[in-house]
């Protein structure tokens, strides 16, 4: 049965994202961040930017095409929830790509710069300020990402298909992960749930490869 790109995106996107994050500054701050920019080769920065961009499009795109697959056999309420989940997932991918682009720009400013307009100190200050801005704009990212995952989970579990297809309980994964992302504001475990959110599509993709979720495509 032709499942299209959906399971491939759900399975391989987390792998690419983890490789991409390994090229990042590892939560560096202040002068450590400036030193990291100076020590990082331009080709590595470009490669990291490409990996994050491709990985993010694959990861969030995977959820988009999954909701499209789910809509075919969903009722109106489920379809509305799935559409709202798409709206919610637009912001996290936008913020992620914006932050990545600002790091690349900061690297150029520190290593090449605008010598005719700024001093070295001013260029480093601008790069550092941009880095802080790209970090702070992540404030609402967990909420919107969480809402997107929760809505997908609720839409998948609200009908009676799970009574016949126990594999459908795999959609409890994004639901629980979404709730965890929101509670991370209080328990200060954002990065734990952030990493889980990156890989929570994996079991769904694997089960699609195994044919456990074929009922999403076929008539019973």
As a whole number of angstroms, the distance between CA 37 and CA 24 comes to 10
Q: Which domain holds residue 41?
A: 6-216
Q: Supply the pLDDT for residue 24.
A: 66
Assigned domain for 1 exists: no
Residue 208 within any structural domain of the chain: yes
Has residue 160 been placed in a domain? yes
pLDDT-based confidence at residue 220 (cuts at 50, 70, 90): very low
The burial of 75, by beta-carbon neighbours within 10 Å (0-12 exposed, 13-18 middle, 19 or more buried), is given as: exposed
Residues 6+ apart with CB under 8 A from 78: 70, 71, 155, 158, 159
CA pair distance 54, 9, nearest whole angstrom: 11
Q: What is the pLDDT of residues 119-163, one digit of tens each?
A: 777 777 888 887 887 777 777 788 899 999 999 999 988 876 655
Report how far apart, in Å, the C-alpha atoms of 83 and of each of 42, 88, 106, 148, 155 are: 39, 9, 36, 9, 10
Q: Is 142 a member of any domain?
A: yes
Non-local (6+) Cβ contacts of 99 within 8 A are 134, 135, 137, 138
Among the ranges given (21-35, 51-65, 89-103, 170-184), the one the predictor scored with the smallest mean pLDDT: 21-35
What pLDDT score was predicted for residue 174? 93
**Residue 210 is encoded by which pair of tokens?**
């195994």
Q: Running DSSP on this structure, what letter comes out for residue 167?
A: G
Q: What gap in Å lies between CA 187 and CA 98, rounded to an integer?
A: 27
pLDDT of residue 131: 80
Q: pLDDT tier at 217 (50, 70, 90 boundaries)?
A: low
If 0-12 CB within 10 Å is exposed, 13-18 middle and 19+ buried, where does residue 63 land?
buried
Residue 23, pLDDT score: 72
- Model confidence at 27, in pLDDT bands (50, 70, 90)? low
Residue 195 CA to residue 211 CA, distance in Å, equals: 26
Domain count, the chain: 1
Kindly state whether residue 81 falls inside one of the protein's structural domains: yes
Region 183-191: what's the mean pLDDT?
Answer: 74
* Tens-place pLDDT, residues 154-172: 998 887 665 566 778 889 9
pTM of the model: 0.84
Q: How distant, in Å, are the alpha carbons of 56, 63, 153 from that of 91? A: 12, 14, 19
């Amino acid at each position: 049965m032709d499942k299209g790109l959906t399971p491939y995106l759900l399975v391989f996107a987390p792998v690419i994202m983890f490789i991409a994050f390994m090229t990042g500054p590892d939560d560096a701050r202040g002068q450590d961040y400036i030193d990291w920019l100076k020590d990082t080769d331009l080709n590595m920065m470009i490669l990291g930017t490409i990996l994050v961009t491709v990985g993010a499009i694959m990861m969030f795109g995977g959820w988009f095409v999954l909701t499209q697959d789910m809509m075919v056999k969903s009722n109106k309420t489920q379809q509305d929830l799935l559409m709202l989940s798409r709206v919610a997932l637009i912001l996290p991918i936008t913020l992620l790509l914006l932050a990545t682009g600002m790091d690349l720009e900061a690297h150029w400013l520190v290593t090449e710069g605008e010598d005719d307009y700024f001093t070295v100190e001013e260029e480093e200050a601008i790069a550092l300020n941009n880095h802080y801005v790209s970090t702070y704009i992540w404030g609402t990212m967990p909420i919107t990402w969480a809402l997107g995952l929760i809505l997908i989970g609720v839409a998948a579990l609200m009908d009676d298909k799970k009574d016949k297809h126990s594999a459908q309980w795999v959609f409890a994964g994004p639901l629980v992960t979404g709730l965890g992302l929101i509670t991370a504001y209080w328990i200060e475990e954002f990065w734990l749930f952030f990493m889980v959110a990156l890989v929570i599509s994996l079991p769904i993709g694997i089960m699609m490869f195994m044919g456990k979720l074929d009922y999403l495509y076929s008539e019973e």
